Amino acid sequence: MVIDPPYLIFLGDVPDALAAKTGLGIVDWRPEWCVGQLRLDGCQADANIPDLTIEAAASQGVKTMVVGAVNAGGVLPQHWIASIVAALEAGLDVATGLHTRLASIPAIRDAAVKSGAKLHDVRFSDQRFETGKGTKRPGLRCLTVGTDCSVGKKYTALALEREMRARGMDADFRATGQTGVFISGRGAAIDAVVADFISGAVEWIAPAAEPDHWDLVEGQGSLFHPSFAGVSMGLLHGSQPDAFVVCHEPTRTTMRGVKHGLPSIREVINMTIACGRLTNPAITCTGIAVNTQKLGEAEARALLEGLEKDYGVPATDPIRFGVSALVDRLATITSKA
């Protein structure tokens, strides 16, 4: 599918920034595409771009309204339908990463037919995937894994790609979620793939490559999350990673959306290696990425220094302090390829 920028980012009335991570991610990594945001009463997220009405967005040349909100189950709230219909009636295309297909809602389908605007369901792919084979393939791959969902796996992979390319390394970000697909223009939403084909889909996303080429594979969920571990496991086996970076948010007490406590970073490392050896016996942890947004700078640096001492790998906040040390560690693997 081809989704035409520029965008109006629709945030609905989401309760916090994490529920707007699709929209905020697009703004962070493709700001030149984002003209404004549309928020309903009660919205607790802000992408820090101009608030626009649909009419104003259309007059400023916006081509597509992107539903930039996410929720458990990926459902489309009933009270958002009116905004989507209004966008279609104004001639805007509409794109969403939710599990609800836009055309399955009669009012949206009828408005699109009448206006001729396009509906994009990014979470659904027309690609036919095979079952995973687990056969070792050339090229190098780094997977971001997490102690929880929404801890920075996508941002870490994108930051690694940016730094590696700046150094002249051969590297590509590989999107496995709807936000990543919006940002990169390629990939597939793994959580919408039938379970038997998850690992095969990831083999397709990150195929055989030159020996020194790196695929930076966007992680999903957590092997310890009772809701999403199945997706995380298929992603681990399909990506066949040579390296992985553990992503963590240090202020959480329970995993997002459930009452389970977070695993330790050590537990994540051990479980990832134990399960990942099925398709790559050489899998190794090369770093820790921590979202320190809620910590002061001194506290954040102290935490990272302690993690480096405890685990013997670089630890950083990719957005706050960069990923140079993480790339240094990956470069040592490149040199052995």
pLDDT in the model for residue 71: 76
Query: Same structural domain for residues 323 and 190?
Result: yes
Asked whether residue 130 is domain-assigned, the answer is no
Residue where one domain finishes, among candidates 121, 149, 169 = 121
Query: Same structural domain for residues 243 and 209?
Result: yes
Task: Decide if pLDDT at 187 tops 90.
Answer: no
Asked whether residue 131 is domain-assigned, the answer is no
Query: Same structural domain for residues 159 and 288?
Result: yes
Asked whether residue 212 is domain-assigned, the answer is yes
CA–CA distance, 72 with 270 (Å, rounded to integer): 28
Query: What values do phi and psi take at 142, rounded to 5?
Result: -120, 125
Asked whether residue 50 is domain-assigned, the answer is yes
Asked whether residue 62 is domain-assigned, the answer is yes
The stretches of 137-195 forming alpha helices (DSSP H) are: 153-166, 178-184
Structure confidence by residue, pLDDT tens digits, 130-140 = 999 999 999 99
Cα Rg of the chain, angstroms: 20
- Assign residue 23 the CATH number of its domain: 3.40.50.720
Asked whether residue 128 is domain-assigned, the answer is no
Asked whether residue 134 is domain-assigned, the answer is no
257 close to 72: Cβ distance less than 8 angstroms: yes
Query: Same structural domain for residues 42 and 102?
Result: yes
Number of H helices, E strands in the chain: 11, 11
| Residue 37 three-state SS | strand
Residue where one domain finishes, among candidates 72, 94, 121 = 121
- Mean of the pLDDT values across residues 112-132? 92
pLDDT in the model for residue 245: 98
Q: What angle do CA 101, 191, 84 make, to 5 degrees?
A: 25
Query: Same structural domain for residues 91 and 59?
Result: yes
- Assign residue 163 the CATH number of its domain: 3.40.50.300
State percent of the chain over pLDDT 90.
87
**Residue 92 pLDDT class (50, 70, 90 cuts):** very high
CA distances from 11 to 57, 161, 263 (A): 14, 27, 31
- Mean of the pLDDT values across residues 63-79? 89
- Mean of the pLDDT values across residues 47-65? 97
pLDDT in the model for residue 1: 59
Mean pLDDT rounded to a whole number for the chain = 95
Q: State the DSSP H helix or E strand holding residue 11, giving kind and residue range, or none if neither.
A: strand 7-12
Q: Which two tokens stand for residue 289?
A: 């990425």
Q: Which residue has the higher pLDDT, 192 or 153?
A: 153
Task: Decide if pLDDT at 35 tops 90.
Answer: yes
181 close to 120: Cβ distance less than 8 angstroms: no
Asked whether residue 135 is domain-assigned, the answer is no
Residue where one domain finishes, among candidates 121, 151, 184 = 121
> How many other β-carbons are positioned within 10 Å of the β-carbon of residue 173?
24
| Residue 267 three-state SS | helix
The stretches of 167-264 forming alpha helices (DSSP H) are: 178-184, 198-205, 229-239
Query: Same structural domain for residues 92 and 158?
Result: no
CA–CA distance, 323 with 316 (Å, rounded to integer): 7
Query: Same structural domain for residues 93 and 18?
Result: yes
State percent of the chain over pLDDT 70.
100
DSSP β-ladder status, 140-146 and 243-248: parallel
Task: Decide if pLDDT at 2 tops 90.
Answer: no
- Mean of the pLDDT values across residues 70-81? 86
> How many other β-carbons are positioned within 10 Å of the β-carbon of residue 314?
21
pLDDT in the model for residue 302: 98
- Mean of the pLDDT values across residues 268-285? 98
Query: Same structural domain for residues 310 and 192?
Result: yes
Q: Which two tokens stand for residue 57?
A: 């967005």
Where would I find the beta strands (DSSP E) of 13-76? 34-39, 64-67
Which pTM was predicted?
0.85
Structure confidence by residue, pLDDT tens digits, 218-274 = 999 999 999 999 999 999 999 999 999 999 999 999 999 999 999 999 999 999 999
Query: Same structural domain for residues 99 and 148?
Result: no
Structure confidence by residue, pLDDT tens digits, 287-304 = 999 999 999 999 999 999
Structural domains counted in the chain? 2
Query: Same structural domain for residues 220 and 286?
Result: yes
Query: Same structural domain for residues 290 and 318?
Result: yes
Task: Decide if pLDDT at 73 tops 80.
Answer: no
52 close to 60: Cβ distance less than 8 angstroms: yes
Query: Same structural domain for residues 250 and 329?
Result: yes
Q: Which domain holds residue 22?
A: 7-121
